[in-house]
Protein backbone atom coordinates (compact mmCIF):
# COMPACT_ATOMS: atom_id res chain seq x y z
CA UNK A 1 0.00 0.00 0.00
CA UNK A 2 1.37 3.46 -0.92
CA UNK A 3 1.84 6.45 1.32
CA UNK A 4 -1.29 8.53 1.82
CA UNK A 5 -0.67 12.27 1.59
CA UNK A 6 -2.94 15.10 2.64
CA UNK A 7 -4.06 16.90 -0.53
CA UNK A 8 -4.32 20.12 1.50
CA UNK A 9 -0.71 19.88 2.73
CA UNK A 10 1.74 22.25 1.04
CA UNK A 11 4.17 20.71 -1.45
CA UNK A 12 7.51 19.71 0.11
CA UNK A 13 10.98 20.64 -1.13
CA UNK A 14 13.86 18.52 0.27
CA UNK A 15 17.05 20.53 0.73
CA UNK A 16 20.46 20.40 2.38
CA UNK A 17 21.61 23.65 4.03
CA UNK A 18 24.98 24.74 5.42
CA UNK A 19 25.59 26.77 8.54
CA UNK A 20 28.98 28.35 7.80
CA UNK A 21 30.51 30.51 10.53
CA UNK A 22 34.02 31.96 10.23
CA UNK A 23 36.63 32.49 12.96
CA UNK A 24 35.16 35.95 13.66
CA UNK A 25 31.65 34.61 14.31
CA UNK A 26 30.29 35.86 10.98
CA UNK A 27 27.73 33.77 9.14
CA UNK A 28 27.89 33.15 5.39
CA UNK A 29 24.54 33.93 3.78
CA UNK A 30 23.61 33.95 0.11
CA UNK A 31 20.87 35.56 -1.95
CA UNK A 32 19.68 33.91 -5.13
CA UNK A 33 19.22 35.78 -8.40
CA UNK A 34 15.87 37.59 -8.58
CA UNK A 35 15.09 37.18 -4.86
CA UNK A 36 15.42 39.33 -1.74
CA UNK A 37 15.79 36.78 1.09
CA UNK A 38 19.22 35.80 2.41
CA UNK A 39 19.72 32.16 3.38
CA UNK A 40 22.23 29.40 3.94
CA UNK A 41 24.15 28.07 0.98
CA UNK A 42 22.68 24.76 -0.13
CA UNK A 43 19.90 23.45 -2.27
CA UNK A 44 17.66 20.66 -3.41
CA UNK A 45 18.55 17.04 -2.75
CA UNK A 46 18.37 15.00 -5.96
CA UNK A 47 16.47 11.67 -5.94
CA UNK A 48 18.74 8.97 -4.48
CA UNK A 49 21.29 11.52 -3.27
CA UNK A 50 22.46 11.59 0.35
CA UNK A 51 21.91 14.97 2.07
CA UNK A 52 25.62 15.48 2.87
CA UNK A 53 26.59 14.71 -0.73
CA UNK A 54 23.94 17.16 -1.96
CA UNK A 55 25.37 19.82 0.34
CA UNK A 56 28.95 19.32 -0.89
CA UNK A 57 27.71 19.51 -4.51
CA UNK A 58 25.61 22.64 -3.87
CA UNK A 59 28.47 24.45 -2.08
CA UNK A 60 30.69 23.85 -5.10
CA UNK A 61 27.97 24.96 -7.52
CA UNK A 62 26.84 28.04 -5.60
CA UNK A 63 30.00 29.54 -4.07
CA UNK A 64 32.87 27.71 -5.82
CA UNK A 65 34.18 26.20 -2.57
CA UNK A 66 35.54 22.67 -2.32
CA UNK A 67 34.41 20.88 0.84
CA UNK A 68 35.69 17.54 2.15
CA UNK A 69 33.36 15.19 4.05
CA UNK A 70 35.31 15.68 7.31
CA UNK A 71 34.40 19.40 7.22
CA UNK A 72 30.68 18.58 7.43
CA UNK A 73 28.89 18.00 10.77
CA UNK A 74 25.26 16.92 10.89
CA UNK A 75 22.94 19.32 12.77
CA UNK A 76 19.80 17.36 11.91
CA UNK A 77 16.49 18.00 10.20
CA UNK A 78 14.45 21.21 10.20
CA UNK A 79 11.11 22.21 8.72
CA UNK A 80 10.27 25.72 7.55
CA UNK A 81 8.20 27.56 4.96
CA UNK A 82 10.08 27.97 1.66
CA UNK A 83 11.37 31.50 1.09
CA UNK A 84 11.19 31.60 -2.70
CA UNK A 85 8.44 29.09 -3.52
CA UNK A 86 5.16 30.44 -2.08
CA UNK A 87 2.93 27.76 -0.62
CA UNK A 88 5.78 25.23 -0.32
CA UNK A 89 7.40 23.78 2.80
CA UNK A 90 11.05 22.83 3.28
CA UNK A 91 12.29 19.60 4.72
CA UNK A 92 15.85 20.75 5.38
CA UNK A 93 18.78 18.65 6.48
CA UNK A 94 21.14 21.13 8.13
CA UNK A 95 24.89 20.75 8.46
CA UNK A 96 27.65 22.87 10.00
CA UNK A 97 30.52 23.25 7.55
CA UNK A 98 33.96 24.20 8.83
CA UNK A 99 36.86 25.73 6.94
CA UNK A 100 35.13 27.80 4.27
CA UNK A 101 36.91 31.16 4.16
CA UNK A 102 35.80 32.56 0.83
CA UNK A 103 32.64 32.47 -1.23
CA UNK A 104 32.48 33.40 -4.91
CA UNK A 105 28.85 33.64 -6.07
CA UNK A 106 28.23 31.44 -9.12
CA UNK A 107 25.25 29.94 -10.92
CA UNK A 108 22.01 31.24 -9.40
CA UNK A 109 23.65 33.16 -6.54
CA UNK A 110 23.49 36.95 -6.84
CA UNK A 111 25.33 37.76 -3.63
CA UNK A 112 27.27 36.09 -0.82
CA UNK A 113 27.85 38.03 2.41
CA UNK A 114 29.65 37.43 5.71
CA UNK A 115 27.63 39.02 8.51
CA UNK A 116 27.44 38.89 12.28
CA UNK A 117 24.20 37.48 13.69
CA UNK A 118 23.07 41.02 14.56
CA UNK A 119 23.84 42.25 11.03
CA UNK A 120 22.02 39.23 9.61
CA UNK A 121 18.88 40.01 11.59
CA UNK A 122 18.69 43.40 9.84
CA UNK A 123 18.49 41.68 6.42
CA UNK A 124 15.45 40.11 4.77
CA UNK A 125 15.93 36.47 5.81
CA UNK A 126 14.47 33.14 4.75
CA UNK A 127 12.33 31.51 7.48
CA UNK A 128 14.85 28.67 7.93
CA UNK A 129 17.65 31.20 8.44
CA UNK A 130 15.60 33.06 11.05
CA UNK A 131 15.15 29.78 12.95
CA UNK A 132 18.83 28.82 12.69
CA UNK A 133 20.03 32.22 13.89
CA UNK A 134 17.64 32.07 16.83
CA UNK A 135 18.64 28.55 17.83
CA UNK A 136 22.38 28.56 17.07
CA UNK A 137 23.57 32.15 17.42
CA UNK A 138 21.65 33.10 20.58
DSSP letter assigned to residue 97: E
- Going by pLDDT thresholds of 50, 70 and 90, the confidence category of residue 5 is low
Does the residue 2 lie in any domain? no
Does the residue 109 lie in any domain? yes
pLDDT of residue 104: 95
Does the residue 81 lie in any domain? yes
Predicted model pTM: 0.91
- Going by pLDDT thresholds of 50, 70 and 90, the confidence category of residue 2 is low
Cα–Cα separations (whole angstroms), residue 59 to 17, 66, 73, 97:
9, 7, 14, 10
> Which among 84, 82, 86, 52 has a CA at the least distance from the CA of 69?
52
Does the residue 4 lie in any domain? no
Whether pLDDT at 70 is above 60: yes
Please give the residue that has the higher pLDDT: either 5 or 31: 31
pLDDT of residue 61: 95
Does the residue 3 lie in any domain? no
Does the residue 5 lie in any domain? no
Question: What is the residue range of 50's domain?
Answer: 12-136
Q: Provide the CATH number for the domain around residue 26.
A: 3.90.79.10
Contact yes or no for 84/109 (Cβ under 8 A): no
Does the residue 7 lie in any domain? no
Q: What is the pLDDT of residues 15-56, one digit of tens each?
A: 999 999 999 999 999 999 999 999 999 999 999 999 999 999
pLDDT of residue 6: 65
pLDDT of residue 107: 79
Q: What is the pLDDT of residues 87-134, one digit of tens each?
A: 999 999 999 999 999 999 997 999 999 999 999 999 999 999 999 999
Number of domains in the chain: 1
Does the residue 6 lie in any domain? no
Amino acid sequence: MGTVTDPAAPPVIRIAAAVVVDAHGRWLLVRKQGTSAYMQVGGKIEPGEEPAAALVREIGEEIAAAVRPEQVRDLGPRDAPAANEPGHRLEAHVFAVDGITSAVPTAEIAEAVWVTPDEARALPLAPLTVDLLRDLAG
